[in-house]
Amino acid sequence: MKEYDLRNKYFDQLLGNSKLKWMGQNTNHIPTHEYVIEAMVESIKNEEFHAYAPPLGLEVLRKKILIDLGLDDYCAMITDGAVSGLFNVCKILCSGRNEMITTDPTWIWPVQFATSTGSSVTQIPIYGNEYEYTLQWDRLEAQITDDTDFNKFISKSFSVITSLPNKNIVL
C-alpha cells in the first residue's frame, strides 16, 4: 500500500470516530444558515450537483469576491476546502528551488505539499515561554532568503491560517 493510501485510510478512520472532537476546522461550530440549507436543497432538487465547477470556481462568485475586496487586478481561486486550497497554493508557489517558512507547530499538510515539489520548508518554533507562544518578526526575518516564496502563519489565538507571498512582506 502506498504512503498516501495509508494516510487516507488513517484520516478516514478518524473521520468515522463519532467520539473524536474536531478542534481545528474553525467553522464546524457555526450553525449553517437557513439560506444556505435552502440553496443546497434547491440545487439538489434541480440536479445541479452533477456538474463539476470550473477549476478556479464559478466566474460570478470569483468576480464578486474581487469586487468586494477591491482587488480588480487579481485572480480569485475558489476551492472546495482548506486542504484543496493549500495544495494548489503550495504546488503553484513552491517549485523545487523555493522555500516555504512556517511555524512549529503547524498544520502538516502544507509542509507535505511543499516538500513534494522538492521545495525546502523551514519551521520556526513558537511553542514555549521563550517564544511567547508566537512568531516574532525578527525570528521570521532571520529565516527569509532570496529563495523564500511563501510564508504561512498560524495565529496563536485561533487555528486560522493566513498566508501571503514573500513579495508582500516589506523588510
- pLDDT, one tens digit per residue, over 77-122 is 888 877 888 888 888 877 777 788 888 877 788 888 888 988 888 8
Residue 138 sits in a domain whose CATH number is: 3.40.640.10
pLDDT of residue 167: 47
Total number of domains in the chain: 1
* Burial profile 14-37: b = 16 or more Cβ within 10 angstroms, e = fewer: eeeeeeeeeeeeeeeeeeeeeeee
What residue spans of 94-145 are helical by DSSP H?
A: 108-116, 137-141
Q: Quick check: is 84 in a domain?
A: yes
Percent of the chain residues past pLDDT 90, beyond the cut? 16
Q: Quick check: is 55 in a domain?
A: no
Percent of the chain residues past pLDDT 70, beyond the cut? 81
Average of per-residue pLDDT values in the chain: 79
Over its C-alpha atoms, the chain yields an Rg (Å, rounded) of 19
Domain that holds residue 160: 80-168
End-to-end CA separation in angstroms for the chain? 46
Q: Quick check: is 30 in a domain?
A: no
Cell of 131: 517564544
pLDDT of residue 32 exceeding 90: no
Q: Quick check: is 43 in a domain?
A: no
In one letter, which amino acid is 146? D
Q: What is the mean pLDDT of residues 144-156?
A: 63
Q: Quick check: is 10 in a domain?
A: no
- How far is the C-alpha of 128 from the C-alpha of 122, rounded, in Å? 18
Q: Quick check: is 68 in a domain?
A: no
Q: What is the mean pLDDT of residues 4-10?
A: 86
Q: Quick check: is 162 in a domain?
A: yes
Q: Quick check: is 157 in a domain?
A: yes
Give pLDDT tens digits for 34-52.
Answer: 999 999 999 999 998 888 8
pLDDT of residue 23: 65
pLDDT of residue 148: 77
Strand boundaries in the chain, DSSP class E: 99-104, 120-125, 148-154, 161-165
